[in-house]
A and B are shown apart, each in its own frame.
Chain A
Amino acid sequence: MKEERFSPEQSLQLIQSMISKTREAMSDNSIYFLVWGWITFIACISQFMLKHVYDYEKHYLVWLLTIVGIAFSIYQGRKEEKAIKVRTYVDESMKQLWGGMAISFFVLSMILTKLGWGTAIFPFFILLYGLGTFVSGSIIRFRPLIFGGLIAWVLAVASTFVNYDYQMLFGAAAILISYIIPAHLLRIKKEKAEVNV
């Protein structure tokens, strides 16, 4: 790019082209949705099987699977940190949102440990999933995530009508609809966008 006088029209074109370049900068978050989606989905289904079908007492141990998710997130986060050249407000907001969500899940676990896990755990967890995906969808303007969040909220209320065991299946359904399906769609969209570049 040379240093020379240029017209207001050229100025405007330059501004537009630079701003459109930063749009490509948004990083692909779908990998986190996929990993966490599948981990929590498998945990819900396994817990249901262990408790309801096999009558295993320590069915809740399946949630230790989340350690894999945490390890993956730390590893992936560090890897991205090394490669990162630009920080967008969208990436920053997503990071803050999911950091806050992780803390909320932890706080909720502590509250329910005190109050008893019995009846309310899954409705509350689904409620939080709904919030996370709804806001994420709004930030990155991706409708399947927004709809996923709305459906999760409906499932949160619906799950209060069934007993604890079946709430696990509602949890699995909420994760499938609000996380896994939108994350796969996001991946497909991203891949298509890359082919078209």
Chain B
Amino acid sequence: MFKDLDPILHSQLRLAVISLLISVKEAEFTYLKEKTNSTAGNLSVQIQKLKEVGYIDVTKQFKDNYPQTICKITHAGIRAFEQYVKDLQTYLGKSTRA
């Protein structure tokens, strides 16, 4: 039924991460973990997937001797998110008409 929706984004945690990143310049891993209420392990895996398809950029750095992971949405990520929302609207439009 949902075969047209981007399978990368049609997953709760990945969609949550992209939705958070769409409205900010960049966010730390810990911020995403806190807001999505997810486990570090699961979040790492989903962030890796989003990075592999080029939807987000991930930078690792050190701040006060602590490792820090910073995530930022890419242009491809923004386009994919916009397309996903459009597809979603089409689905919802169909279901309300039916």
Q: Which residues of A contact B85 (CB under 8 A)?
A: 15
Given A1-B38, A87-B26, A88-B24, CB of A19 within 8 Å of CB of B19: yes
One of A6-14, A49-57, A137-145, A187-195 at the interface: A6-14
Residue ranges of B at the interface with A (Cβ–Cβ < 8 Å): 2, 5, 10-13, 15-16, 19-20, 22-28, 30-31, 34-38, 42, 46, 63-64, 85, 88, 91-92, 95
* CA–CA, A179 and B1, complex, Å: 56
Q: How large is the interface on A (under 10, 10 to 19, 20 to 34, 35 or more residues)?
A: 20 to 34
* CA–CA, A10 and B92, complex, Å: 11
* CA–CA, A22 and B92, complex, Å: 25
* CA–CA, A10 and B36, complex, Å: 15
Given A4-B12, A11-B15, CB of A88 within 8 Å of CB of B25: yes
CB proximity to B under 8 Å, residues A1-41 = 1-6, 8-12, 14-15, 18-19, 21-23, 25
Q: Which residues of B contact A161 (CB under 8 A)?
A: none
Taking a contact as CB atoms under 8 Å apart, the answer to whether B19 and A82 are in contact is no
**9 tightest Cβ-Cβ pairs between the two chains A and B:** A18-B19, A85-B31, A86-B27, A87-B25, A8-B91, A85-B28, A22-B23, A15-B19, A86-B31
Taking a contact as CB atoms under 8 Å apart, the answer to whether B13 and A3 are in contact is yes
Q: How many inter-chain residue pairs (CB < 8 Å) link A and B?
A: 80
Interface of A is mostly: helix
Taking a contact as CB atoms under 8 Å apart, the answer to whether A22 and B63 are in contact is no
* CA–CA, A1 and B15, complex, Å: 11
Taking a contact as CB atoms under 8 Å apart, the answer to whether A14 and B24 are in contact is no
* CA–CA, A18 and B23, complex, Å: 9
Taking a contact as CB atoms under 8 Å apart, the answer to whether B15 and A87 are in contact is no
Taking a contact as CB atoms under 8 Å apart, the answer to whether A14 and B23 are in contact is no
Taking a contact as CB atoms under 8 Å apart, the answer to whether B24 and A25 are in contact is yes
User: Closest B-chain residue to A21, C-beta based?
Assistant: B35
Given A1-B36, A8-B88, A21-B35, CB of A88 within 8 Å of CB of B13: no
Taking a contact as CB atoms under 8 Å apart, the answer to whether A1 and B28 are in contact is no
* CA–CA, A104 and B20, complex, Å: 35
Taking a contact as CB atoms under 8 Å apart, the answer to whether B2 and A22 are in contact is no
In-complex Cβ contact of A11 among B20, B34, B88 (8 A): B88
In-complex Cβ contact of A88 among B11, B23, B46, B92 (8 A): B23
In-complex Cβ contact of A1 among B5, B24, B34, B37 (8 A): B37
Minimum CB–CB distance from A80 to chain B (whole Å) comes to 13
